[in-house]
Amino acid sequence: MGKHADSEKIAKALATLDIHDYGDVLQCMRCGTCLPTCPTYRTDGIETQSPRGRVAMIKAVIDGRLPASEEFIGHMYHCLDCRNCQTVCPAGVKVGELVLEARHRIEENRPQAILKRFLLNYAIHDQKKLARYMIPLKLYQATGLQSLIRKYDILKLMSADLEFMEALLPPLPSRPLSETIPEEIPAVGKEKGRVGFFLGCAMNLMFSEVSRASIAILTRSGYTVVVPKNQQCCGTPNIAEGERKVYREMAEHNVSVFEGKRVEAIVTDCAACGSELKAYRETLGKQDRVAKKAEAFSSKVRDISEFLAIALGDDIKLGSIPGVVCFHDPCHLRHGQKLISPQRDLLRRIPGLTFRDIPDDGQCCGSAGIYNVTHHDRSMKILEAKVAAIDKTWAERVITSNPGCYMQLQYARKNWGKDWNVSHICEILRLSLERGDQE
């Protein structure tokens, strides 16, 4: 949790919170509609683990009725930021965003651990650098670096259960996708248009084959795909950890690399990236200098399913994939981007495929960025509930579209002996397209 916090400074910083930007904390009626939707309330069953409780705590700190103690700070980090509560809140209170704002004000007012600062401010900045730090994760344990890092009370990420982290990791590609694809990949056949492609860090570094499939589907659908060089992290990890300065630099950089590329949309196959890129219009929007550019950028951002549901023409034949599948909605897709139908529409178009809904109204899988590392036990309980809901569909394959969810579900499959497989939606779409072409 970092170092000792200055409770008074944090309380002061929270007191100036522009609460109107976050659906006004006063707007919370305390009606409790959020309770049954909140993963942490569902696992713990107590009010401090609920959205209603989090709003009450923030309000009490603002009003000076509750100190901004370590206990309070802990509660601000117990939230998964899944935003399920924002989907259902009758009064429109943006609890997830409010919690992130509180984290930001907390982090501004307490000393930052060295490795955390390094990761958020430096490593993440450049995917080439990040690639260098990612690959030797396994070495990390063997070299004795672990004890050194632990000694300095560095980021929880590093002091956490490495076995779990290693179990999460997919087989890593030898080189990131960004190093192996050209900046422009032409459309197959007649060009219908040009789209930009945003390379998320996790997709680029760990799931490069999936993103290769995504790009192949786009070109096969008649779009020339532009992948600007030197893209940076979308900033989700920074926002989640309360860091805003480097976030802004990276966001402005990402907006600039897509400028002048003459693309009608900026597509991403990572739900978390999509959600954050769409938020640039708000997070960058307060500075006149970049407000317009951010608005233009965000208005073009499309999740891959959102784009393909319209762009994948009827002229393109999809081949049969017999079997039963369900779709695990990444929170950043269903609650962050309010997208529910495009991914379902796409799956229903695949001949032979039976689609079933997971009967839990879009519950989080517990991955939530690094939550499964920082709050491992609760994350596993949330995952257990998710898996139980998945099992009710009798699906042979769980489809999703976010790398964090993908790894979390794979972990459940491998370690809990589940007989379903996990795929990104673009993996199954590419297979269907290939079969369609063969037929």
Partner 1 sequence: MKSLFVQKLEELVGKSKVLSSETELLCYSYDSTPLISHQPDAIVRVISEEDIRLTLEFAAQEGLSVTTRGSGTGLSGGSVPVRGGIVIVTTAMNRITEIDADDLSVTVEPGVITADLHAAVEAENLFYPPDPGSMKVCTIGGNVAENAGGLRGLKYGITGDYVLALDTYLIDGAKVHYGTKCVKDVAGYNLTKFLTGSEGTLGIFSKITLKLIPRPRTKKTFLALYDDVIDAARTVSRIISSKIIPSTLELMDSVTINCVEDHVGIGLPRDVAALLLIETDGHPEVVREEAAAIEEACRANRARTVRVAKDLKESEELFTARRNALTALARVRPTTILEDVTVPRQAIPEMIATIQEAAKKYSIKIGTFGHAGDGNLHPTCLTDERDTEEIHRVEEAYDEIFKKAISLGGTISGEHGTGITKAKYLPQMVGPKAIEVMKRIKNAFDPEGRLNPGKIFLQDME
**Interface with partner 1 by CB under 8 A: which residues?**
24, 26-27, 29-33, 35-36, 45-48, 50, 52-53, 56-57, 60, 65-67, 69, 71-72, 75, 90-92
C-beta separation of 103 from 85 below 8 A = no
- Token pair in block for residue 82: 């899944």
3 state DSSP class of 196: strand
In the complex, minimum distance from the CB of residue 73 to partner 1, in angstroms, rounded to a whole number: 10
Pairing type for strands 265-268 and 323-327 reads: unpaired
In the complex, minimum distance from the CB of residue 145 to partner 1, in angstroms, rounded to a whole number: 36
Q: Which of 262, 258, 242, 284 is nearest to 106 (CA)?
A: 242
Give dist(CA 197, CA 214) in Å, integer. Answer: 9
Q: Which is nearer to partner 1, 54 or 83 (CB)?
A: 54
Q: Which is nearer to partner 1, 87 or 121 (CB)?
A: 87
- Token pair in block for residue 378: 């609760």
C-beta separation of 19 from 133 below 8 A = no
3 state DSSP class of 186: coil
In the complex, minimum distance from the CB of residue 64 to partner 1, in angstroms, rounded to a whole number: 13
Q: Which is nearer to partner 1, 4 or 289 (CB)?
A: 4
In the complex, minimum distance from the CB of residue 67 to partner 1, in angstroms, rounded to a whole number: 8
C-beta separation of 192 from 161 below 8 A = no
In the complex, minimum distance from the CB of residue 25 to partner 1, in angstroms, rounded to a whole number: 9
Pairing type for strands 184-185 and 223-226 reads: antiparallel
Q: Which is nearer to partner 1, 357 or 396 (CB)?
A: 357
User: Nearest 5 degrees, angle CA 95-CA 101-CA 107?
Assistant: 135
Q: Which helix (H) or strand (E) holds 130?
A: helix 127-134
Return the number of other C-beta atoms located less than 10 Å from residue 139's C-beta: 9
Give dist(CA 76, CA 96) in Å, integer. Answer: 10
Give dist(CA 425, CA 333) in Å, integer. Answer: 13
Q: Which is nearer to partner 1, 26 or 114 (CB)?
A: 26
- Token pair in block for residue 200: 């998320």
From residue 175, alpha-carbon distances to 84, 140, 203 in Å are 36, 19, 12
Using the 8-state DSSP alphabet, how is residue 423 labeled?
A: E
Let me know how long the chain is. Answer: 439
Q: Which is nearer to partner 1, 82 or 113 (CB)?
A: 82
Q: Which is nearer to partner 1, 74 or 136 (CB)?
A: 74
Helix 425-438 to helix 304-311 angle (10° resolution) is 30
C-beta separation of 49 from 41 below 8 A = yes
Q: Which is nearer to partner 1, 91 or 114 (CB)?
A: 91
In the complex, minimum distance from the CB of residue 60 to partner 1, in angstroms, rounded to a whole number: 6
Q: Which is nearer to partner 1, 47 or 295 (CB)?
A: 47
In the complex, minimum distance from the CB of residue 56 to partner 1, in angstroms, rounded to a whole number: 6
The terminus-to-terminus CA distance of the chain in angstroms comes to 56
In the complex, minimum distance from the CB of residue 46 to partner 1, in angstroms, rounded to a whole number: 6
Q: Which of 403, 395, 216 is nearest to 321 (CA)?
A: 395
- Token pair in block for residue 154: 């560095």
In the complex, minimum distance from the CB of residue 16 to partner 1, in angstroms, rounded to a whole number: 16
In the complex, minimum distance from the CB of residue 103 to partner 1, in angstroms, rounded to a whole number: 16
In the complex, minimum distance from the CB of residue 51 to partner 1, in angstroms, rounded to a whole number: 11
Q: Which is nearer to partner 1, 78 or 397 (CB)?
A: 78
User: Nearest 5 degrees, angle CA 175-CA 180-CA 428?
Assistant: 85
